[in-house]
């Protein structure tokens, strides 16, 4: 512990255009997962803080909604330039507190920038419809208006990108926004907020607080908060959806995942293996789009597993800040232990480890696990059913594509899935019949771009309108129909 060292910064709130000191609030350590060292402390917001930020945001919204949309875009254009300029610093901060490799962090920042770019199209995106003479002498048009104060609650695994699925669209549409990011990774959103301040977003339009359930609950029950966007685990997503909906708020709650990668015997093996590795072990498996169950169809298993084990064994594991590292640590010691617990459970339940990540000998102070591949996994095993959120891939062998579809559709989750094949017919049948929100065809991480919607089905999503794309414009606006007659 190096908590007493002066280099440890305190991360606090950005409310109404001001950076606040932590005062006597609860402080929690932020650790670098690669070294185990404490790198910052984060202040936790109280219910009073939430009330203060909601009031400030609401006051800002009352002015911001009247700013013409083309003027609302200007700080976002400046922000995009600042993000480009500081992308490497942002990525380095992200790696320091989250553990993902620097390349992955840079790619995440790039995805975040794309959200801002798309939100800059708001003058077009917010347009309504119109039709003259819907009745004799009567014209009709629709308008989209902002909702008011919107809140975002985000997870630890994408601290730069996921908040940007939300607030650029929300504020471009004329709302004010309160972000409550994961308390495990508060530094990246703080740095992003400093850049936004530099871009000249008016005070109170964007606000940042930190904390845990106390802050979240206060947001869910606050009468001035009109809409809640959540991304995180399924149990919390369900809770957020129920609680905020019961308060009459608009909610989108994106939850956890258990993604299947189906490999047909006619798949192009080397390319398929490359994609599977990046899907299952990229970001140490801490992605909601990570492949977690590998479904080998027919004769696919033997050539697939041989090449997969060979390539995965050669992966370099280490501090993600080093350029040639293939996989970094898990986010916290507790999470590493949880994932190691799943590996033990897999062995206990009779799966055969082709690689066991617990044997990885790395830096003792960091939260490292090597990649794990289990063969002979049965659909009823814990490792086949539950979200592990770590570098663990379970292989299930099935006879036909029909069996694969039935297996995938039996999962309570429905976030993403991929099929690897050379057959257009197999790909078409799979994408048509599989019960998941995002499907990859020879693509291991089926992440929709900023201009498309992002969300799963079943226990991976609670709500109606998905994240980003046109859905975000609808989510952050209320529609009104105007009928006009002039006498
Ligand atoms: P988490 O659910 O633990 O936390 C998410 C947010 O909720 C954080 O801001 C946290 O402070 C808050 N929170 C946690 N417990 C709470 C409670 N009891 N009451 C109120 N608020 C609470 O998730 P995480 O561990 O940060 O992130 C990993 C999870 O997020 C995984 O399940 C992953 O699949 C999911 N995820 C989903 C998507 C998607 O698009 N569906 C994207 C990224 C991550």
How many whole angstroms separate alpha carbon 173 and alpha carbon 99? 34
Residues 208 and 273 in one domain: no
Task: Measure 43 CA to ligand 1 centroid, in angstroms.
Answer: 19
- Spatial separation of the C-alpha atoms in residues 29 and 186, rounded to whole Å: 10
Q: What is the pLDDT of residues 21-57, one digit of tens each?
A: 999 999 999 999 999 999 999 999 999 999 999 999 9
Is the same domain home to 247 and 374?
no
Residue with tokens 């258990």: 258
For residues 358 and 465, membership in a common domain is answered with no
Cα of 3 from ligand 1 centre, angstroms: 26
Lay out the sheet containing 416-420: strands in order across: 352-355, 372-375, 392-398, 291-297, 259-263, 416-420, 438-441
CATH number, residue 348: 3.40.309.10
* Tokens coding 309: 């084990």
Query: Are residues 282 and 155 part of one domain?
Result: no
| pLDDT at residue 185 in the model | 98
> Which of 30, 47, 162, 236 best tests ligand 1's pocket when mutated (most atoms within 8 Å of CB)?
236
CATH number of the structural domain spanning residue 218: 3.40.605.10
* Per-residue confidence (pLDDT) for residue 110, from 0 to 100: 98
Is the separation of the CB atoms in 179 and 11 below 8 Å? Answer: no
Structure token pair of residue 187: 């530094």
CA distance 145 to 122: 12
Tell me, in angstroms, the distance from the centre of ligand 1 to residue 226's CA: 21
Which atom of ligand 1 lies nearest, measured to the CA of 233? Answer: 32
Residue 342 located in a structural domain:
yes
Backbone angles phi, psi at 293, to 5 degrees: -120, 125
Q: Vertex 173, ends 170 and 177: CA angle to 5°?
A: 30
Q: What's the pLDDT at 386? A: 98
Cα 15 to the center of its chain, rounded Å: 24
Confidence check: pLDDT of 68 > 70: yes
pLDDT at 2: 37
Instruction: Determine whether the shortest distance from the Cβ of 367 to ligand 1 is under 6 A.
Output: no
Does any ligand 1 atom lie closer than 6 A to the CB of residue 477? no
| In the block, residue with structure tokens 């939430």 | 50
Examine the pLDDT at 361 and tell me if it is beyond 90: no
Write down the pLDDT at residue 1.
Answer: 37
Asked if residue 182 has its Cβ within 6 Å of ligand 1, the reply is: yes
* Strand spans (E) along 62-183: 130-135, 138-146, 149-153, 176-180
Measured in Å, residue 95 CA sits from the centre of ligand 1 at 19
Are 74 and 192 in contact by the 8 Å Cβ rule? The answer is no
* Residue owning the nearest CA to atom 10 of ligand 1: 182
Two structure tokens written together for 423: 């057959």
The residue whose CB lies within 8 Å of the most ligand 1 atoms, and thus the one to mutate among 188, 211, 217, 233, is: 233
> Could you tell me the CA-to-CA distances from 291 to 22, 88, 203, 275, 391 in Å, in that order?
40, 28, 41, 10, 9
Looking at residue 124, its pLDDT comes to 97
Closest to 267 (Cα-Cα) out of 449, 133, 401, 124: 401
CA atoms of 173 and 189, how far apart (whole Å):
21
Query: The tokens of 180 are what?
Result: 């409550």
Q: Which of 230, 229, 183 is nearest to 209 (CA)?
A: 183
Q: Output the pLDDT for position 241.
A: 98
Distance 54 CA to ligand 1 centre (A): 22
Q: Do 217 and 131 belong together in one domain?
A: yes
Q: Based on the domain organization, do 218 and 299 belong to the same domain? A: no
221 and 119 within one domain: yes
Alpha carbons 376 and 475: distance in angstroms, whole number? 44
* Same domain (yes/no): 362, 389: yes
Q: Is the CB of 445 under 6 A from ligand 1?
A: no
CA distance 107 to 124: 27
Q: How far is CA 187 from the centre of its chain?
A: 16
| 252 vs 469: CA distance, rounded Å | 14
How much distance in Å is there from the Cα of 236 to the middle of ligand 1?
7
Nearest atom of ligand 1 to the alpha carbon of 335: 25
Distance 155 CA to ligand 1 centre (A): 4
Which pLDDT score, from 0 to 100, does residue 167 have?
98
Residues 6 or more apart whose Cβ sits within 8 Å of residue 160: 90, 91, 94, 105, 108, 109, 112, 188, 189, 192
Confidence tier at 17 by pLDDT (50, 70, 90): very high
What residue owns the CA closest to ligand 1's atom 43? 288
454 domain-assigned = no
Whether 305 and 394 have beta carbons less than 8 Å apart is answered as no
Same domain (yes/no): 401, 387: yes
Task: Mark whether 27 and 54 lie in a shared domain.
Answer: yes
List the one residue out of 284, 264, 232, 483 whose CA is nearest residue 391.
284
Any domain includes 18: yes
Q: Which stretches does DSSP call E strand in 32-137? A: 38-43, 130-135
| Biggest distance spanned by C-alpha atoms of the chain | 83
pLDDT at position 212 over 80: yes
Closest-lying ligand 1 atom to the alpha carbon of residue 460: 41
Query: What residues act catalytically?
Result: 288
Whether 38 and 129 map to the same domain: the answer is yes
Q: Is residue 450 part of a domain?
A: no
- Regarding the beta carbon of 389 and ligand 1, being less than 6 Å apart is answered yes
Is 255 a pocket residue for ligand 1 (Cβ < 6 Å)? yes
- Measured CA to CA, the distance from residue 112 to residue 91 in angstroms comes to 11
Residue 447 forms part of a structural domain? no
Report yes or no on whether pTM surpasses 0.95: yes
Q: Whose CA is nearest to atom 16 of ligand 1?
A: 213
State the pairing for strand pair 18-19/14-15: antiparallel
Answer yes or no: is the C-beta of 153 below 6 A from any ligand 1 atom: yes
Mutate to test the pocket of ligand 1, among 218, 232, 251 (most ligand atoms within 8 A of CB): 232
**Residue 387, ligand 1, Cβ within 6 A:** yes
CA atoms within 13 A on the CB side of 221: 8
The mean pLDDT value for 133-161 works out to: 98
Cα separation, 319 vs 300, in Å, equals 34
Nearest to 21 by CA among 48, 50, 43: 43
Looking at residue 5, what is its pLDDT?
45
Nearest to 263 by CA among 254, 272, 255: 272
Instruction: Judge whether 317 lies within some domain.
Output: yes
Kindly state if the Cβ of 288 falls inside 6 Å of ligand 1. yes
3-state class (DSSP) for residue 240? helix
φ/ψ of residue 435, rounded to 5: -95, 80
Q: Is the CB of 154 under 6 A from ligand 1?
A: yes
User: How many beta carbons lie within 10 A of that of residue 386, not counting itself?
Assistant: 15
Task: Count CA atoms closer than 13 A to 11's CA, side-chain side.
Answer: 31
Q: Which helix (H) or strand (E) holds 11?
A: strand 9-11
Give the residue, by CA position, lying nearest to ligand 1 atom 19.
213
Answer whether residue 448 is part of any domain.
Answer: no
From 106, 94, 97, select the one nearest 42 (Cα to Cα): 97
Domain total in the chain: 2
Say if 355 falls within a structural domain.
yes
Q: Which atom of ligand 1 is nearest to the CA of 255?
A: 41
Question: Which range of residues forms the domain containing residue 140?
Answer: 9-255+460-484
Chain segment 424-480, per-residue pLDDT in tens: 999 999 999 999 999 999 999 999 999 999 999 999 999 999 999 999 999 999 999
Query: Are residue 111 and residue 203 in the same domain, yes or no?
Result: yes
Distance 232 CA to ligand 1 centre (A): 2
């Amino acid at each position: 512990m190096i908590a007493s060292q002066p280099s440890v910064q305190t991360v606090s709130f950005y409310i109404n255009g001001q950076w606040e000191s932590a005062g006597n609030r609860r402080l929690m350590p932020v650790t670098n997962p690669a070294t185990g060292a404490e790198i910052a402390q984060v202040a936790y917001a109280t219910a009073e803080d939430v009330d203060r930020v909601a009031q400030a945001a609401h006051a800002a919204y009352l002015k911001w909604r009247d700013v013409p949309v083309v003027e609302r875009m200007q700080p976002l254009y400046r922000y995009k330039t600042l993000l480009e300029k500081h992308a490497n610093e942002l990525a380095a901060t992200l790696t320091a507190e989250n553990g993902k490799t620097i390349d992955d962090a840079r790619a995440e920042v790039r995805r975040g920038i794309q959200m801002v770019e798309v939100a800059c199209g708001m003058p077009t995106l917010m347009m309504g419809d119109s039709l003259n003479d819907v009745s004799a002498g009567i014209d009709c048009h629709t308008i989209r208006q902002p909702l008011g104060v919107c809140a975002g609650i985000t997870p630890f695994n994408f601290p730069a990108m996921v908040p940007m699925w939300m607030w650029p669209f929300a504020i471009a549409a004329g709302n004010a926004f309160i972000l409550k990011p994961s308390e495990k990774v508060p530094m990246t959103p703080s740095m992003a907020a400093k850049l936004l301040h530099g871009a000249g977003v008016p005070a109170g339009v964007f606000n940042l607080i930190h904390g845990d359930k106390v802050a979240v609950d206060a947001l869910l029950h606050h009468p001035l908060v009109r809409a809640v966007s959540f991304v995180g685990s399924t149990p919390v997503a369900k809770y957020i959806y129920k609680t905020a909906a019961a308060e009459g708020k608009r909610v989108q709650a994106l939850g956890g995942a258990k993604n299947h990668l189906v490999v047909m015997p006619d798949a192009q093996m080397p390319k398929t293996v490359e994609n599977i590795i990046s899907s299952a072990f990229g970001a140490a498996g801490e992605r909601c789009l990570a492949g977690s169950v590998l479904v080998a169809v027919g004769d696919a298993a033997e050539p697939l597993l041989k090449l997969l084990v060979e390539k995965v064994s050669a992966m370099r594991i280490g501090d993600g800040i080093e350029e040639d590292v293939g996989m970094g640590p898990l986010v916290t010691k507790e999470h590493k232990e949880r994932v190691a617990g799943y590996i033990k459970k897999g062995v206990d339940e009779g799966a055969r480890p082709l690689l066991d990540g617990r044997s990885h000998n790395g830096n003792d102070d960091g939260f490292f696990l090597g990649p794990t591949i289990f063969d002979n996994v049965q659909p009823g095993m814990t490792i086949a059913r539950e979200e592990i959120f770590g570098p663990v891939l379970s292989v299930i062998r099935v006879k036909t594509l029909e069996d694969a579809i039935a297996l995938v559709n039996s999962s309570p989750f429905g976030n993403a899935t991929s099929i690897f094949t050379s057959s257009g017919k197999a790909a078409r049948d799979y994408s048509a019949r599989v019960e998941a929100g995002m499907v990859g065809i020879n693509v291991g991480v089926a992440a929709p771009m900023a201009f498309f919607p992002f969300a799963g089905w079943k226990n991976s999503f609670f709500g109606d309108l998905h994240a980003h794309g046109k859905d975000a414009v609808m989510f952050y606006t209320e529609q009104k129909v105007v009928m006009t007659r002039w006498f």
